[in-house]
A and B are shown apart, each in its own frame.
Chain A
Amino acid sequence: MIEIRGLHKYFGELHVLKGIDLDVHNGEVLSVIGASGSGKSTLLYCINGLEPIQQGRIEVDGTDVHARGTDLNALRQKLGMVFQQWNSFPHLTALENVALAPRIVRGLPRAEAREVAERQLRHVGLGDKLDVYPKALSGGQQQRLAIARALAMEPRYMLFDEATSALDPELVGEVLDTMRLLAEEGMTMICVTHEMGFARDVSDRVAFFHQGVIEEIGPPAEIFGAPASEHLRKFLAKIR
């Protein structure tokens, strides 16, 4: 379970997150929507400790992410993250991309790391691309490679930061399908997304971010069917 209490985050003078309270339960899929610059990515970075916070606390399975003694490298193994830019390691084949962290971070023997990698690549539908370099993969394939790379650490949570925003429209579907598959398998997911169809169909709850606060949160039927806040109504009208 991820528990966020009274979270404030500043970039210098800029107050980006202004008091976030949020629980994400195991098995839940939470979609995060909201305008550009509202702090959605920043929230994800705070959750896995890539960004420090100034006030409040974030606990992952009871571990305080930003406490002094916390082993962030160990914690991050629980929190798989997929970015808008897929960031494949260009010097490694697909298999090596996925096998690297299991080998050096989890300490698996080489053969076992490759096995894990192969399994995850098949999982995301890249079983026929094991020895291909990222350059020869499409954007959608590279994004699925990034998902496999995160999954190979056997995380309990997956954080998606606009995983489909940088893709050509015709490649969005394959990545969303992979995310759907994970949701069906019971993965706990926080998905920052602009894909309202995905948010509506796949998530258990949707959080609407507005200027650094969660202005509205609830089941997709409420958020999309009966939005209470004026800002959310405007946001949805603009998106449609």
Chain B
Amino acid sequence: MEPAISFFSGFRAADLWFMAEAAWRTLLISGVSIVIGSLLGILFGWMLHEGRLLASLTLAPLLDVFRSVPLIIQLVLFYNFAPIAGLSLDPFASGAVVLTLYCASLVANVARGGIAAVGQPMRRAARSLGMTYWQDMRHVVLPIGGRAVFPSWVGVALGVMKDSALVSVLGYVELLKASQILITRTQEPFMILTLAGAFYFALSYPISRYSARLEARWAQ
């Protein structure tokens, strides 16, 4: 046992490694959910923008459900009802599915806002140059609208990462679950929660820093 760490009763060096592994799992499940959820969300946002009537009747209410029902309820319901529907998913897969849909429902609104942020005059200017719909989307709407809503998207992504803590209720050993396990054993809640907080911070800080740098570059 290393002296510096044995100062705290029961907390071993191996526990730090246990936490680091859990942090990796937090990163994994939120990374997967954010990437797939964002792509889906952009697709949904585009559908909301384009297919006004149909999308507003079908997609919009559905996304509202994902957005407004507390995530923890969605997780528990999905995890317990998926097997009935013939899907037997482990905690990671269940958590990733729910987080992905949750992320997509949030990103859909952001994406729709981004598309709407590029006004009709700008789009007509692009089309008047002979650009196709998709060229306009790719070379005008994406860069201009994307930059406009990038900060909101970063907010959603960081939020999803923090909310991934709720997947602990399914028994997936990410940071929060790992902390609970260690607290039960060591009875050192303050130290362990501080440590978990530090891990969360270490995961999100580079993202906020990098995005702040990007925004600064776009602004100049």
Contact = CB atoms under 8 A, between A and B. Distances in A.
Is the A/B pair a real complex? Answer: yes
Interface of A: 45, 48, 50, 73-74, 76-77, 79-81, 83, 85, 87, 89-91, 100-101, 104-106, 146, 149-150, 153
Given A90-B144, A91-B144, A105 B124 contact: no
B135 A105 contact: yes
Contacts of B143: 89, 91
Interface of B: 121-122, 124-132, 135, 139-140, 143-144, 147, 218
A14 B131 CA distance: 29
Contact of B147 (A76, A87, A91): A91
A99 to B, nearest CB: 11
Contact of A50 (B122, B124, B140, B218): B124
Contacts of A77: 129-130
B119 to A, nearest CB: 9
Given A50-B124, A83-B121, A87-B125, A73 B132 contact: yes
A45 B132 CA distance: 16
Contacts of B125: 81, 83, 87, 146
A81 B129 CA distance: 8
A76 B129 contact: yes
Contact of A153 (B126, B130, B144): B130
B144 to A, nearest CB: 6
Contacts of B124: 45, 50, 83, 87
B130 A74 contact: yes
Given A76-B129, A101-B129, A150-B129, 19 more contacts: A45-B124, A73-B131, A76-B127, A76-B130, A77-B130, A79-B128, A80-B128, A81-B125, A83-B125, A91-B147, A101-B130, A101-B131, A104-B131, A104-B139, A105-B129, A105-B131, A106-B130, A146-B125, A153-B129
B218 to A, nearest CB: 7
Contacts of A105: 129-131, 135
A153 B131 CA distance: 11
Nearest to A48: B128
Nearest to A100: B139
